[in-house]
Every structure is written in structure tokens, then in C-alpha cells.
A and B are shown apart, each in its own frame.
Chain A
Amino acid sequence: MVSGSAAQFLTKTFYDKLKEGKLIGCRCKKCNFVMIPPRLLCKECGSKDLELVEFKGTGTLETFTVIHVPPMRLKNVAPYVTGIVKLDEGPMIMGRIVGVDPNKPEELRMGQRMQMEVIEEDGKPVLAFKPVS
């Protein structure tokens, strides 16, 4: 658990920490609501009394797709898998799904256990998850 001033509850902090392999969000000290990514106000009760939390990076696959028509910058990466993972701590987050064959989507199933991984794209850290065998 990392505590800090409001200046820390930023997208920049999320990606700085992700670069170090850490997945962070925040918890509301007033109502206990846990959020990812960090925000300046509690999404649930509006309180400013928040603290940064680090997630374990494990969870289950809520839903996924295989992108065959990509945005321009991912032209050479497609096809690839993108999905939403429900973290064990509660909130959901979107990420790239790696360690699977995008041409065999039927081998991936919703509800599957996932573990976070950080990949790099254009020098930037990208949140990814891979299936836990």
C-alpha cells in the first residue's frame, strides 16, 4: 500500500507504476470502495480521502475479442486479443490478452484465471494479462 497526496492520483502515476510492473488504483478511506485506475474523487461517494493501492494482478477473464481490423499503430500486431479482466480485489480493467493464439479464440474461455504482465509498445508500458495454466 502506497499513500500520497492528491497529486499522485493521476494517469501518469498509473503508467509510471506499470512501468515498474505494479498495477495500482485507489481505495476510498471513507466508504472503502476500490477503483482502478486511480481517480481524484471516489467514484462511489465523492470523497477526496483516498489512498493508492497495489493490486495483485490476478483475476478472471470477463469477456474478450480478437481484433482483426486494428487501429493504424497496431497494423503489424493484428490479429491480437483484447479483454476485460475482473481483478480479485473487485474492479475490472481492460488489457491486451497475451499467451494465446488469436487464430484459435475458441481455446480461450470467459471465466478463465488470468495473471497480469507488462508489455512494451512504442516505448510505453501496456497492461496485459495471460492465462494461468
Chain B
Amino acid sequence: MGLQRGVCVIGAGMTRFHHKIHKDKSGRELFVEAALEAMESVDKGIERKDIQALFVGYFTPSLYEHQGHIGPLVTDWMGLTPITGWRTETACASSIAAFMTGVLAIASGWYDVVMVGGVEKMTALPTEGVTDALSVAADDDYEIPAGATFPGLYALLAQAYFKKYNMTWEDLQAIPIKNHHNGALNPKAQFQEEIMDIAKRIGQREGVTFKDPLDFLKSKYNRVIAWPLRLFDCCPISDGAAVAILAAEDVAKKFTDTPIRVAGIGFGTDTLALHDRISLTSFASAVFASRQAYKMAGIEPKDVDVVEVHDCFSIAEVIATEDLGLFERGEGLKAAVEGRTALDGDRPVNPSGGLKCKGHPVGATGAAMIHELWKQLRGEAGKRQIPDAEIGLAHNVGGTGASCGVVILRR
């Protein structure tokens, strides 16, 4: 089953994701910054009056900014009232849900041109406060009392994966090392530095030397967050926003000669509680969402040229590449260790640097994945460009996989 009416991405923009530079801006202001960049990216131009609806993902505005009712807040700040607008919330997948809401609004014939995006203003709280805010994506009655945190939940998955497939934490370090390499090539990334450069910088300060990235990652300077996961296994706390503009295929040419088509969408759910899962090494929601999206797009995993996956923690990227069918079960981490997911590998994953380096203002992440695919499929990704990328896939997870949205875009 496909969309009844074709939908295209005609523009995309994002703020840089960062933990410091947006300190003085609120969520609404970050959204406007990204929205203006998205409008400027439209090849033949777009005016505010062209936008007929606005859907925005923001996971926990009430906890970070003591602000709800984000939909009309951003239509107002964009000067777009009284157009249709509301907020979508699916934890860290909130803006892929906003994207899909926009797709449906056009495919149904309701509207022709829609703005979608996401935002999260996380640095308003100290680290423990952020840990608490994120934890509302877990099962508050049965996981939180046990002392679960998000790094902790992903550590439980990592341990299960290591045991099942006889791999180690040392193997897992291939993921952050690769993502830091990619992030260093992305001007929008929060961290634009190779791990070895960070190791040298810290080494100079502390009067120690590290012989390679792993030597640094095993040191006390990479502190344990939730054993066996350490700081560099975790995405950072970030502020930021990302926005895309969608148009019906039949009106897209008015805005650009190179629209990027929405070829497939899929969304799946699973139990919030990890202990209720059939498997601790796979997300059933991601398997469901990706199969739905592949079917709609009429393609197979091998056809995808560029992939942005939800690596909120290093192990999550491994699980994602297996759930998406890019690698066989138990082969995802081996493939990363062998360099197959690197920019020059046969299956490049997270050219943007992923959540680890690009940053993860949770409600903005899905839209930021769309922004990266938009750049890649138009050949505008600079030093991190995957040559001739024609089909791109975004995989955006909420919580520990209780939500997962997958979008396939095609040039």
C-alpha cells in the first residue's frame, strides 16, 4: 500500500546542535531559526503564506521549559496563525512522527504544503534533571523503581548482545570512533573532533599520552555511566531544532526542480518495559516499521545508499543496522569493526556523525535525520557526501524502541 498522493521534501534546515551556544534561546526561538533556514533552502523560494500547516515534535517541553501547547506556540512565533498546527510526542522519535503527520496531511489531500520539524531545549536542566526528564520515556511503574536510567537500559541491551554473539565492549568502540570521524566533517555537529584529537587534547592537559583511541576510551577520562557503557558510548545533552518543508508531488515543481520524494514510511510500537520483550537484542518496532517502509517504497535493504540511524547509545546503532536488515543478526557489530559502515564502506551508516556527534536534542532528531538525507540525496553533503546517493533511510527510535519510525527518501 502506498501513499494516495505523492509527497516530496522541498526544503530542510537545522540549527547546529550544541550544549553551549544556544544557552540564551528558548525552544520556540530555536524552532524559528531552523524554520527560516529550511525556507531559505527552497530552490525557487517559498513564502510564509505558502505554508498551510505545521507539525512539531518536542518530547518534554513541560519538564525543560515548563511550557506545553507547543503547536500554536510555534505557529504564532512563525507568524502563521491561524493555520493548523500541533505537537507530536513519541519520546525521542517525536519529530519523525511530526514528519509523518505532515506526509499524511498532504497524502490525504487536506493540504499541499506543510512545515514539519522538532526541537528540544535540554540544557535548561542540570545533568541529573535531564536524566530524570528522559526517563519518562521508560515504564515509570516497573522500570524506574528498579533504578533504570536510559544509559542503564541500553547497557542491559549491550550486555545481552555481547553474551549472545560473543562480542565485547572493546569491539563496540568501533561505533563512536567512526561517528566522531564523520561528525568532524559536519559543520552542524555538536562535536566536530576525531576521538584521537580529543585524546591528545586531554592528554596534554593531564600530562598523559594515549597510544590509540581505544587506549583513551579505556582510561579514567572516559568515565563509566552505566557499566559497561562509558561517556563516549552515550550521545550528549543538546539544544537544537530541525525543520523540513513538504509539498505534494503535483505542486513541488513550483518550488524546486530537484524535489526529494517520500518513497516509504513506517511506524511501529513495542512494550515500554524492556523485560516484556521477546528479544533483548532487537527492537520489534524497528523491524515492523522498516518492513512497512521498504514495502511501500518497493525496495529491499540492499538498495539503500545512505542510512541515518538512532545511535543514542553505541549499542543502539548495532541493533539498528540488524533490525533494518542491512546485516544479518549478530553481524552488525562485526561489520562496524571491519569498517563496512564507514563513509567509504559498502554500507555507510550515520554520515552526519549520528546522535553521538551531531548531538541529540531528542525532539529534533528525526527531523535532523531528514535534513541529512536531504543534503546527501541532493549531493550537498560536502566532505561527508556518499557518492551518487539515490535512496536514503532514516530510523528514529523512541525510548528503548517502544516507538520506531522509518522514512525512506528517494532522489
Contacts and interface: CB of A to CB of B under 8 A. Distances in A.
Contact of A127 (B146, B148, B280): B146
A109 to B, nearest CB: 9
A70 B147 contact: yes
A127 B142 CA distance: 9
B227 A70 contact: no
Contacts of B129: 72
A35 to B, nearest CB: 8
A45 interface: no
Nearest to B131: A71
B145 interface: yes
Q: For B144, B159, B227, B274, which residue has the most chain A Cβ atoms within 10 angstroms?
A: B227
Given A63-B160, A105-B227, A126 B155 contact: no
A17 interface: no
A15 to B, nearest CB: 8
Contact of A94 (B151, B226, B274): B274
A6 B62 CA distance: 34
A77 to B, nearest CB: 7
A56 interface: no
A68 interface: yes
Contact of A62 (B147, B155, B160): B160
A100 interface: no
A19 B373 CA distance: 52
Given A71-B131, A82-B146, A96-B146, A65 B141 contact: no
A66 B228 CA distance: 8
A92 B142 CA distance: 12
B225 A127 contact: no
A83 B280 CA distance: 12
Interface residues of A, number: 34
A70 B132 CA distance: 9
A64 interface: yes
Contacts of B142: 11, 37, 93-94
Interface string B135-176: 100000111111111011001110110010000000000000
B128 interface: yes
A123 B274 CA distance: 26
A95 interface: yes
B274 A75 contact: no
B5 to A, nearest CB: 35
A31 interface: no
A13 B254 CA distance: 61
Given A65-B159, A68-B224, A95 B146 contact: yes
Contact of B275 (A64, A74, A93, A124): A93
Interface residues of B, number: 35
Contacts of A69: 127-128, 131, 149, 151, 225-226
A77 B147 contact: yes
Contacts of B156: 63-65, 82-84
Nearest to A73: B132
B318 interface: no
A63 B147 contact: no
A130 B227 CA distance: 18
A110 interface: yes
Interface string A18-58: 00000000000000000001000001000000000000000
A68 B233 CA distance: 14
A72 B131 contact: yes
Contacts of B128: 69-72, 75
Nearest to A109: B163
Given A92-B275, A94-B142, A67 B147 contact: yes
A82 B152 contact: yes
21 contacts: A62-B160, A63-B157, A63-B163, A65-B156, A65-B159, A67-B152, A67-B226, A68-B226, A68-B227, A69-B225, A70-B149, A71-B131, A71-B132, A75-B128, A82-B156, A84-B274, A94-B142, A96-B146, A96-B147, A105-B227, A124-B145
Interface of B: 127-129, 131-132, 135, 141-149, 151-152, 155-157, 159-160, 163, 223-229, 273-276, 280
Given A62-B160, A69-B149, A74-B147, 9 more contacts: A65-B155, A65-B228, A66-B227, A68-B223, A68-B224, A68-B225, A69-B151, A71-B144, A93-B275
Q: Which 4 pairs across A and B sit closest by C-beta, in order of nearness? A: A65-B155, A66-B227, A92-B275, A94-B146
